[in-house]
Structure formats: structure tokens, C-alpha cells
Amino acid sequence: MRRYLEPVVAFSAAAYLTLGCSGSLGRDPGGSEGTGTGGTGGVSATASGAGGAAIASETSDTAAAADPPKVPPSDFKQCMVTSDLLDPVFLTIPRARSMVTATQVRGELAGLMPEIPLPGTLRGPELLNYYHFDYPTTQVTEVIVVPELHGTSVLGQMVLQIGIQAPPVDSAHRRPTAVTVLVDTTKSMEGESMARANAAVLALAESLNKGDVLNLVTTNPDVAPVHRVAAIAGDPALFAADKPLTVSGAGDLGQALVQAYDAANDVDSYLAGGLNRLVVITDGGGLPESIDARLIDDNWTKQHIDLVGVGVGLAPSYRPALLDAATRAGHGANLYLDSVAEADAALHLRFDEVMDEALNDVSIGFQLPSIFEVVNPAATTAAVSEGQLTTSDLGRGRSMVFRHAVGVCPNPDSAALAKTTMNVTVSWNDPTLPDRQTRQFPFPLVKVISQTPSYAFLKTSVVVAFTNALQSLEAARFEAACQKIADVHTAYATHAADPELDSIAAQINAHPIMVKAGKTCP
């Protein structure tokens, strides 16, 4: 194992904390030194737009080397090890199902002449929302909670990561599903945007089971909506790929949205107790004011028709504002397709993750022993009262990862430490149950600290480092992100290949900053 794993493996929990506060704390595998929470995976470098989390930076090991040492806070409630727990801290991930930035960055870096994604346009949490940070589970109906505490390069500080894993996808037993697809066919969609739109409709059609409904509406007022019912799973008659949609001149997306909701609510389409979704596909050329947010909210509130946004414009010029507003009102996922291939990946292979929710209105609370102190939690993602935060939904088979810096008191008593616990509380609404669900999970602190960093923890660190690099535009930070990828491969040499890590490495190699520096990920 590399040096960063040594403190976790070689020392007891008590010795680990003692060394950490006396100047020898090992580095966090993610180089995490700030505070924050992230999307369906981790932390981010900056405040995000569109209601996303505002998150302080986690600096890389490279950048941290020059930082002056920091000491633990002096105002801990209790430095002696006791059974007392701190007041609970509640966590949330605003807009946890918005994933636009990750694929838009990838699209900007994929061309023959890669462009530099502008730091001011990046919404860091959306990178974490897109990538997978799965925790192993065999449970089908219950949430999984995995807390971890690991050292950082900041004296007196550790990183607490709490992973929340939703029940796995079971598409064979999915609820009856009705998908109404509204496709922008105006002039601006000509070319690659329309190709991606057609691929998106095909991917949705291929995902439907026997008896499921597909409605197809376009912005062309002269074309009547199409209503079809799947005769078999993946029925090719739902959408003929050899007869794609084409650009049809003028049209009004706002008026077409009214028509789409009429189709979704039609007696032959709406499935009571089923999964009813409206998918809006556009190149992002419209303004948020062009759609009626009250109409969207009303259909979600009364009919629980989630609105899912799918952006298909060219990456350098794509503007997410319209679908940000629509999906915020419609409580659905917000995606961007940077290629035709991504349509199948996002809307077919990940259909249940994107379209269905395992947990609604998720809230996380944790309590640490009194030897710890949460460091500067962000007001938009952490609070002392559950009611102070917006809540988020969690898709089928998906995970949320919350990550915060915590201070720690020096020299805890080993025997007393072994008796302490930390608590995690998860509350959510289940679409199939009438009452809000709450589960409390106590964890022995020694176990939380002594375990080897999980694959999910190390992968989160990769995305954190990549996000920091995109924000800083410093070659050294891109190199640090490359090192994080290498560290994952070293620590988990027998782990199956991870295409997402390979994709991040390819994006780093394509970034003009790295090209100019003559550097590549090994």
C-alpha cells in the first residue's frame, strides 16, 4: 500500500488520533482539507449554480504541501473521551439529480480542438452527482449507510465521509411506466442536436416494458402527438429508428409543454400508482421564462409527474438555464448528452436511476463523540435542524456521499475510545409507503476509523481532485488528480476496470492546460 494508507492500517484508532493531533497525521487519500458535501458522490470546489450546494474547497496534496500547519480548534466541548455525543448535524444535497456539468465538461474536452471549460460555469456538485460511488450491498429494500473517518494533511483534522446507498435497480419489477417525451424540433436543433434527440427517444423506448406507454410530442403544432403502448419489452414499434424526427421550422416550447402535459394526463396514458414521467429534450436555446413553471409544479404536486430534462446542444454553447428551471419545478433529473452514445448510457442503461426514485426527501443527520468538532459546515448543505434544509431525492441503485472536515482533540484514552460510537440517522419518504421512514445507525468509532479507505472513498477523492483542477486551471492540480487515479488502482489492484476513472483520465489528458505542460496521466 502507498504511504497514505499507512496510518489507517498500522495504528489503532486511539494512536491514530493521537498522532494526528501531534503532527504526524497521515494524508487523506483525497487530500481533503476543506468542508462540504457533494452530490451522489462527495465534495466540490466551489459554489454551484441552479440551487446546487455551496461547498468549500478540498485542496490537493500538491497544493497542501506549501500550506502552513493548522492546529485543532481550542473550543471543543469536551476533550476527554466520554459517551457524550455532539448535537446532531443534518446534511442535504440540493439538486442531487442534476448532472449537467460532468458531461458538458467531457463534451468540451472531446473535440479535435478541446476547449477549456470556464471555471465560472462549472457546478462542482454535478460532477459528483454523475459518477457512481456504489457501496456493496445485497439488500433489496433498505438503505445502506457506510461512515468512514480518515486522516488529512492538515494537522488536527480528519475527513468524515458518509455513504448512503439506495436499494439496487430491479427493472424487471418496475412499476408500470408512462413516459411522455417532448422534443424541440425548431431550427436551432438542426444537425448533431437532433441526432442526439433521436437517440434519446430511442433509448427511452428501448427501456420500456410490456404494457408501458410512450407518448411523443414535438414543438411543431402541425404534428399530432403520438401515443403507443409497448407490446413487448423494448418494443421496436414504439419508435422507428429508421424514421427519425426532423427539424420542422418554427415552434413554441411553452405551448408544446401544455400539449405534452395534456398527453401525459390523458386517460389512456396516465397510470395511477405507476411511474409517470415527462421528458423535455432541447438544445438549451430557450429562456426559462418561455415555460410555465407553475404548470410544471402543479402536475408534479397533483399527479406526481416528474419532469426530466435532457440537453442536447453542442457542449461549448449549451446553456442549461431553461432545463434547470423546468427540472427544479418538476423535481426530476437534469441531464446533458454530449454524444449520441451518451443517450443510450444515460437513458437506457441508467433508465431506473434517472427516472425512478428509491427515496424521496432524503435527510441525513450524524452525531460524533465529543472529541470531534465539525469544521465550518456550509449553510446550504448542513444545519442543526432538519427543517432548515431543502431535501433531495435518490434514484434507484444510486448513492449519496457526504463529506466533511472534522477537527479532533489530542491524546484520547484508548480504553475509553473503544466504547464510543457515532450515530447516523436517515429519514426519507418512500413512494410506496404512506409514512415518513427514519432509521438510526450506531457505529463503533474504532471500526469507523480503523478500516481501510473504501473504493467509494478513494474514487470520491479522484472526482474532488479533478473538480479542483478544473476550477484552478493549474497543471499541478491535474497531475494530483492523475495521482489519485493511480492510487485507486494501487489500493484496489484486483478491482474490476472502472470506465468512469478511465474517462476522467482521458479528460485530464485532453485538457489544454495538460497538453501545454506536456503532461499526461500514466
Give the 3-state secondary structure of 51-99. Answer: CCCCCCCCCCHHHHCCCCCCCCCCCCCCCCCCCCECCCEEECCCCCCEC
Query: Once rounded to an integer, what is the mean pLDDT over residues 239-246?
Result: 91
107-111, 377-381, 476-480: the lowest-pLDDT one: 377-381
Q: Give the CA distances from residue 345 to residues 165, 200, 263, 414, in Å, rounded to whole numbers and listed in that order.
A: 21, 10, 27, 49
66-70, 248-252, 349-353: the lowest-pLDDT one: 66-70
Question: What's the full length of the chain, in residues?
Answer: 522
As a dihedral over the C-alpha atoms of residue 265, residue 266, residue 271, residue 274, rounded to 10 degrees, the angle is -30
Query: Once rounded to an integer, what is the mean pLDDT over residues 271-283?
Result: 96
Nearest to 119 by CA among 469, 510, 461: 469
163-177, 351-365, 465-479: the lowest-pLDDT one: 163-177
Return the pLDDT at 376.
66
At 298-314, the pLDDT tens digits run: 999 999 999 999 999 99
Return the pLDDT at 231.
97
Query: Directed axis angle between helix 340-347 and helix 192-207, to 10°?
Result: 30
Return the pLDDT at 88.
85
Is residue 8 a contact partner of residue 25, using CB atoms and an 8 Å limit? no
Position 258 confidence tier, pLDDT thresholds 50, 70, 90: very high
Above 60 in pLDDT, residue 70?
A: no
* C-alpha grid cell, residue 107: 463534451
At 46-57, the pLDDT tens digits run: 222 322 222 223
423, amino acid identity: N
Query: Once rounded to an integer, what is the mean pLDDT over residues 200-214?
Result: 97
Above 90 in pLDDT, residue 468?
A: yes
Query: Once rounded to an integer, what is the mean pLDDT over residues 183-208?
Result: 97
- d(Cα 8, Cα 27) in Å, to the nearest integer? 10
- d(Cα 30, Cα 145) in Å, to the nearest integer? 20
- d(Cα 465, Cα 521) in Å, to the nearest integer? 13
Q: Name the burial class of residue 293, with classes exposed (0-12), middle (13-18) and buried (19+) by CB atoms within 10 angstroms of its CB.
A: middle
Query: Once rounded to an integer, what is the mean pLDDT over residues 248-264?
Result: 93
- d(Cα 301, Cα 329) in Å, to the nearest integer? 10
**Side-chain-facing half-sphere of 414: CA atoms under 13 Å:** 8
Tell me what the pLDDT averaged over the chain comes to.
82
The model's pTM is 0.85
